[in-house]
Structure 1
Amino acid sequence: MNRRFDKALRVLLSSQVTTGVSAGFGLLLVSAGTFLLFGQFPASVATVGAIICIPPDHALPRRGKLLSLLPAALLGLPLFLSVQALLSQPLYLGMLLVPATFCAFLAGAWGQRGVPIVISIMFAMIFSMAVPQHLNQGSLIQTGLYFALGSTCYVVYSTLANMLLNGRYRVQLLAQSMLSLSQLMRTQADRFDPATDTPSAGQLMRQQAALADQLQAARDLLLESPRTRQRQRLAAMLINVLEMRDHLLASELDLDLIKSRPEAAAALTSIRGVIDQMADEVDIMADALLRGRKPAPLSDLRPALAALNRLQLESPEHSSHRPSPTTLMRGLTNRVGNINDEILRLNRLARGDVEPDLAAVRTAWQLFVSPTNWSLRPVLVLWRWDAPPLRHALRGALAVGVGYLLSLALPWATHGYWILVTIVVVLRGSLSQTLERRNSRVAGTLLGCVLAGAILSSGAPTWALLVIVPIAQAVSHSFAIRRYLVTAVSATVLSLVQAHLLSAADVPVFNALERIADTLIGVGIAWAFSYVLPSWERGQIPSLVNRTLAAQARHAQITLNLGYLNAVDDEPELEWRLARKETYDSLSALVQATRRSLAEPRAVRPNLEALEAFLGHGYQLLAQLTTVKTMLLQLRLQQGQEQIQEALQLAGNEINDRLLAGRPQAEAGASLSAGAWLEETAFTDPFVYDLRPWILRRLDLACEMAQRIRNDADAALQAGDGGEPEGSPARP
């Protein structure tokens, strides 16, 4: 029961709900203020002006908030007025809707930033169709002024609210990143216990991708102007979370070898319990942040891990030139101990017991955050037939055109705009996203129609309906990402009540039935057109694979460069962090594309087996290099780096050659063979150790992993019929 309560409270205290409540309150101010000053119809139009500015309203950095809202307000007004002017001329209205939809959907070229703008622009036109001209007692210009009043007031309100809530958003996004990390820790822990079903590699990679997105959202806010002590503390905690992710990834190294020893089962089960306990500690600290409390001090779990090192797993065929199972086990517990150390540092930062050290990012934070300007480059480069944003824009325009023509033929044509609403919210850039929205939209509309019908049948006064609209908007905005079914229910209530206010309709039951039919028609159109001019994920895989190869090679070069490691300034540290970020981001983008391809027809799917192997080996290479960097930092204290400098340089070149040039291993004789060094070196206990043989072993494994990644890439870049996918770029 407590666990369910904690989960519910985390949702209520999340940044999404805070933004939703803020949006609902702003909408209430606009609608209520306009109603008191001008009356019902002006208030309804002003409410539409505010509603179209809400989709891009999220927790954002202060410097980019206004720019994120302006496109919706500036583009929405002329389109709203144009539709108003053509309401009595269906033919000309259709001639406006189709090209305007095409242009609106082109905003998808900006990725996640552009999707809310698409929704806003389309809502401006569609809600304008819900405003009957006979109720407009003033001129078209006057109606436009009401609309502009609502948009302007909401943009100003949202910008100010974002500034006031900036501190709270920083805390929330950091806590949400910690909760995502703890979830990944539990999944990782399950892989240690031989008695449980091992989670699939795909599940781990999906959680890694989700965490990468969450961390980027946190970077955008927490690394913006970290000048005050509180901001610096939160930014330092975020950097600490990033380090924990690295150590968690490295914790699985050698796990399969150790699990092959039956006598290690009890120790691995104990390690699983330790990781679960550490995940609980991360949750406790995240909950304390969300609730505004100071977390309690944590106990060190290193002693519990050290107790496991008494386990002997000696192999009779063991050679001193290879690490024994016992030393591998001790190395594994040490890597898990690194996670414990990071959690203790995180706890001390959260309690304010230590001062944050932000030298690496204080002067260059903008290198790690998403751009806030609206560059024209995404639009300028999409004018090729195989560009997904262009195809989606054509697909959307055709779907809206068909939906509009069909709405004119229906007996309830005056409410046909609901078909267009459904098409806009269901039709997405990929088939998998469309299918996810399809079922939720139908179920949500059915429930929402019943709820809206009950509200409108009650004969509630106008002021009550004006309050219900912001409440529905708050709920809809809060769960748009987390749970779309809730958003579909509340959005249906919002739209029906708002349409009732605009048209003064007095037959809500019939309207609800019509909306159900319109929804089914709109969902069917969106589903059908998701197969028109499709942009199958297979066409995007080559560029994503090549991006990942380049990122891995760059990360390896920087990680294995002692010059970067021993530099006296912070620029090399920044460069390494940027290389690491790009590697994680490239893997995350490929994971998401692979996942989306699972919903596509089998005939057009990419080589999923090769892609899964490529991703798995990619994360393993990251783990190997993370462990090397950790040991190099420790070796720096022992003044022994120079003795392996040649090996590091050769390994970096070898990894680069294998990833980018794709040379077969047999042709790599002139490059690094770390095994040659290993044959001359004996492994020692990792707690009284000479780190050099361990570093050489990791370098050898990293080179081997680089070759596997290259082989996987070659297989993944082949289409199902053995040829290159259409439009795939040349291999680097």
Structure 2
Amino acid sequence: MHYALNLRTFFYSHYFHLGLRFAAGLVGVTLVTLQFAGMATAMTVCIGALCTALMDMPSPLRHKFNEMSASVLLCSAVTLLISLCGPVRWLLMTMLVLVSFMACMMVVYGKKSMPLQLATLFIMTMSMEHDMTARESFIHAGLFTLGAVTYLGYSMAVSWLLRHRIKQQVLAEALFELAAYIDIKADFYDTRYNLSEQFNKLVRHQSLLADRQQASRDLILRSHQDSKDAIVVQVHVCMLDLYELILSTHTDYAQLRAHLADSPVLKTLHDLAWKAARDIESAAYAITRKRASYQHVNYDAELAAVEDELRALQRKVDEGKPAQEALAVLRAQRNKIKAILHMIGQLHLASQKAYDSTPFWSDADMGPFLSQQKYEFKMILSHLRWDSPIFRFSLRVAMAISVGLLVGAHLPYAAHSYWIVLTIVIILKPSFSMTRQRRSDRIVGTVIGCVITALIIRYLNYPAAILAFLILSTVATPTFIYLRYRYAAITVSVMILLQMHLLAPGNHNLIVERLVDTIIGAAVATAFSFVLANWEYQSLPRLIRQVLDANLRYMQAAFDLLQGKGRDDFAYRIERKRLMDSLAALSAALVRMLDEPASKQRAVEDINLFIVQNYLLVAHVAALRAILRRHGAELPAAAVNAKLRDSHRDVVAILVAALAQHGHPGANTSVDRAPAAGGDGERAAPAVPWSGWPLVQRRIRLLQADAAKIIVHSEAIVRDVA
């Protein structure tokens, strides 16, 4: 379950606060307008505020102002344009198709442009039913702009006052997702769960976790106002360090299960991981409540049980029984878990201290860690080509809207074409899987919303009750729109139908008409989801090249750090983030492909294993870092660095070969590409009198073995996709 759907955390999440801000702004703008004008004027002003509110998301203040200002300008222009074209039917139809096409082309700017696209298409559909003179059109657009600007000012003022609170909420969300990540890791110790399925689940969740961590970076690392901001910076850094330690806990779980299947220690390890997840959740919960976090979870019993098992295994080894491997694996896991528990303690401490500065970023450029976006018109022009998925999506939407308008014009009842068009633009998304999910949520949500509205009108048809349900649905709609769209579809149906009932109380067919329009719109959107479709397998070569290229750069930064060539781990953190982002993008594409028709799926198993192997390379590097830190005393730098150089050369050779399979020589990566010699991972590896030497050797063998598997899966993907 998503953390924000739990009542304990729901009311402290930024989703609920967004709903409150959204509803207070819309209701406030409407009530103030009603003091000076009639209901029709108030609704126009309210819709202007609503379109701007769609862009009201957690974001740095400067970015929020730019994004919401773009919404005000663009939506106001569309309102005026469509209103002016209203009296001329053929011109209106032409403009609707053109505006739809251009709005969909804005998807080139990425995920942040999606709400702006929706706002543009929403106001286009709301304006298409008006039949105004030129003078009335300008007045209507002016009132719309007034509402939009008013909400912009209100939202910026509230966001400025709550800027630190929003940072806390977004940071807490990332921590909750990290706890969920550990819960998945805990089940690796439970023999009831299949290891392959758990790996798949883990990698899928890593995509979501990467997204939440990036949202946290974008808010927290851009500005530093006071000591309170310094606290969230330090907690954020501890969270990222903790994440790397969690990555380092990867081991040969099949071997661990085989050696310890009859021992209760597996259950103990599971319980330790489960408790660690609850410990992180307690820190996240404290942050959402604006409190310092304190550690209340006790791990002593579980740690003592692990120590007892280690002593029992040591006795078996002393007696000559074959338990050496089990002892080594369990001891390594014990050490890693202790490091994680220590870092969780540091996470709690970071929330308690008052910091005067943030040395983590005092002399560093945070730009590489942050989302960078340029809104240049030439980006749209560069996608005006037939092979562009965004261009094809824009054509698809324009054609679907044309058909929706045509169908609406020939319905036997008093049709409202704008509802059909609105349903189409809400359902039809760039990918088939998103369209399929949105269609299901829209239909189910609309049916439930219609039933709820019918019951309200039938049994609670009192002004006070209807107003209460209106306010409740206005709060719930933005709360769930990014959390569970099906819930948002229910509440938005209730909200709009109740508003229409207040404006036209005598229309007894209102609910049935809206339901029919929704089904028609969903049918049209479904049909056109197959027209000029962009199937996920077509983007796989590009995404895989990005992963391999990012992994090459990551390995360079990682081995430089392991060999002590850099003064800090800043470059390593940057490359790790880029690799994780590329893996998250590939994983998301795989998940979407699984929702597509079976005939459009390619190399599913090999892509999944390719993702897992690249993920394991990150885990092995994190484990090497942990080993070198834990056994830093009397480190034989020359021998270890020689071993690391050989391993780096082998891994780079493998990744370059995999890139070559995808038609990319990897020439842009500044790494040493000397050919691998040997490849067994054991050359130039005499015995070294150092406690960490066997662990380093073993981890490097695992690293090279998993890197070699990338070649196999990469070759299979090339063959299947081609």
Q: What TM-score do the two structures reach when normalised by structure 1?
A: 0.89
Cα root mean square deviation, aligned: 3.0
Residue matched to 1:254: 252
SS in 1 for 2:677: coil
Residue matched to 1:558: 557
Q: String of CA shifts for 1:182-206, please: whole Å, max 9, x gaps.
A: 1111111111122555553221111
Q: String of CA shifts for 1:569-601, please: whole Å, max 9, x gaps.
A: x5xx22111100011111111111000001111
Q: Does residue 1:614 correspond to 2:620, yes or no?
A: no
Amino acid at match of 1:165: L
User: How far 1:354 sits from its partner (Å)?
Assistant: 8.6
Alignment of 1:308-707 (within 5 A): 308-312=309-313, 324-352=325-353, 358-360=359-361, 363-371=364-372, 373-376=374-377, 378-453=379-454, 471-499=472-500, 504-562=503-561, 565-568=564-567, 570=568, 573-634=569-630, 636=632, 638-662=634-658, 670=677, 673-678=680-685, 680-681=686-687, 690-707=691-708
Amino acid at match of 1:611: I
Instruction: Sort the Cα spacing of 1:498 and 1:90 in 2 relative to 1 into closer, same or farther, 3 A.
Output: farther
Instruction: Sort the Cα spacing of 1:137 and 1:100 in 2 relative to 1 into closer, same or farther, 3 A.
Output: closer
Distance 2:643 2:716 in 1: 30
Distance 1:453 1:129 in 2: 27
Instruction: Sort the Cα spacing of 1:168 and 1:130 in 2 relative to 1 into closer, same or farther, 3 A.
Output: farther
User: How far 1:500 sits from its partner (Å)?
Assistant: 5.3
Residue matched to 2:172: 175
Residue matched to 2:663: none
Residue matched to 1:728: none
Which residue of the other structure, out of 137, 140, 144, is the alignment partner of 2:137?
140
Query: Is the 1:548–1:586 Cα contact (8 Å) retained in structure 2?
Result: yes
Q: Extract unaligned runs of 5+ from structure 1.
A: 725-732
Residue matched to 2:107: 108
Distance 1:42 1:533 in 2: 41
Query: Is the 2:449–2:494 Cα contact (8 Å) retained in structure 1?
Result: yes
Instruction: Sort the Cα spacing of 1:310 and 1:361 in 2 relative to 1 into closer, same or farther, 3 A.
Output: farther
Query: Is the 1:607–1:716 Cα contact (8 Å) retained in structure 2?
Result: yes
User: How far 1:562 sits from its partner (Å)?
Assistant: 4.7
Alignment of 1:281-300 (within 5 A): 281-298=279-296
Instruction: Sort the Cα spacing of 1:110 and 1:264 in 2 relative to 1 into closer, same or farther, 3 A.
Output: farther
Instruction: Sort the Cα spacing of 1:436 and 1:167 in 2 relative to 1 into closer, same or farther, 3 A.
Output: same
Deviates more, 1:355-364 or 1:367-376: 355-364
Amino acid at match of 1:51: L
SS in 2 for 1:42: helix
Residue matched to 1:729: none
Instruction: Sort the Cα spacing of 1:641 and 1:380 in 2 relative to 1 into closer, same or farther, 3 A.
Output: farther
Query: Is the 1:249–1:623 Cα contact (8 Å) retained in structure 2?
Result: yes
Q: Extract unaligned runs of 5+ from structure 2.
A: 661-673
Instruction: Sort the Cα spacing of 1:72 and 1:260 in 2 relative to 1 into closer, same or farther, 3 A.
Output: same
User: How far 1:553 sits from its partner (Å)?
Assistant: 1.4
Deviates more, 1:35-44 or 1:410-419: 410-419
Amino acid at match of 1:691: G
User: How far 1:455 sits from its partner (Å)?
Assistant: 5.1
Instruction: Sort the Cα spacing of 1:448 and 1:299 in 2 relative to 1 into closer, same or farther, 3 A.
Output: closer
Distance 1:627 1:318 in 2: 29
Query: Is the 1:109–1:378 Cα contact (8 Å) retained in structure 2?
Result: yes
Query: Is the 2:558–2:572 Cα contact (8 Å) retained in structure 1?
Result: yes
Amino acid at match of 2:21: S
Query: Is the 1:311–1:326 Cα contact (8 Å) retained in structure 2?
Result: no
SS in 2 for 1:397: helix
Distance 2:561 2:573 in 1: 15
SS in 2 for 1:428: coil
Count of residue pairs brought into register by the alignment = 702
SS in 1 for 2:141: helix
Amino acid at match of 2:687: T
Residue matched to 1:26: 25
Distance 2:592 2:371 in 1: 23
Residue matched to 1:160: 157
Instruction: Sort the Cα spacing of 1:693 and 1:564 in 2 relative to 1 into closer, same or farther, 3 A.
Output: closer
Instruction: Sort the Cα spacing of 1:356 and 1:415 in 2 relative to 1 into closer, same or farther, 3 A.
Output: same
Q: Does residue 1:279 correspond to 2:280, yes or no?
A: no
Deviates more, 1:554-563 or 1:450-459: 450-459
Distance 1:316 1:264 in 2: 20
SS in 1 for 2:36: helix
Instruction: Sort the Cα spacing of 1:590 and 1:356 in 2 relative to 1 into closer, same or farther, 3 A.
Output: farther
Q: String of CA shifts for 1:240-276, please: whole Å, max 9, x gaps.
A: 2122222222212122212111456421111111111
Instruction: Sort the Cα spacing of 1:318 and 1:109 in 2 relative to 1 into closer, same or farther, 3 A.
Output: farther
Q: String of CA shifts for 1:357-403, please: whole Å, max 9, x gaps.
A: 64257642332121254244542432332222111111111111110
SS in 1 for 2:264: helix
Q: String of CA shifts for 1:3-23, please: whole Å, max 9, x gaps.
A: 999921312221112112111
User: How far 1:649 sits from its partner (Å)?
Assistant: 1.9
Amino acid at match of 1:675: E
Query: Is the 1:298–1:347 Cα contact (8 Å) retained in structure 2?
Result: no
Q: Does residue 1:190 correspond to 2:187, yes or no?
A: yes
Instruction: Sort the Cα spacing of 1:634 and 1:166 in 2 relative to 1 into closer, same or farther, 3 A.
Output: same
User: How far 1:640 sits from its partner (Å)?
Assistant: 2.9
Residue matched to 1:212: 210
Distance 1:275 1:355 in 2: 34
Distance 1:81 1:616 in 2: 52
Query: Is the 2:452–2:494 Cα contact (8 Å) retained in structure 1?
Result: yes
Distance 1:618 1:4 in 2: 28
Q: String of CA shifts for 1:532-556, please: whole Å, max 9, x gaps.
A: 1011000111111111111111111
Instruction: Sort the Cα spacing of 1:318 and 1:111 in 2 relative to 1 into closer, same or farther, 3 A.
Output: farther
Query: Is the 1:181–1:245 Cα contact (8 Å) retained in structure 2?
Result: yes
Distance 2:551 2:134 in 1: 64
Q: Percent identity?
A: 25
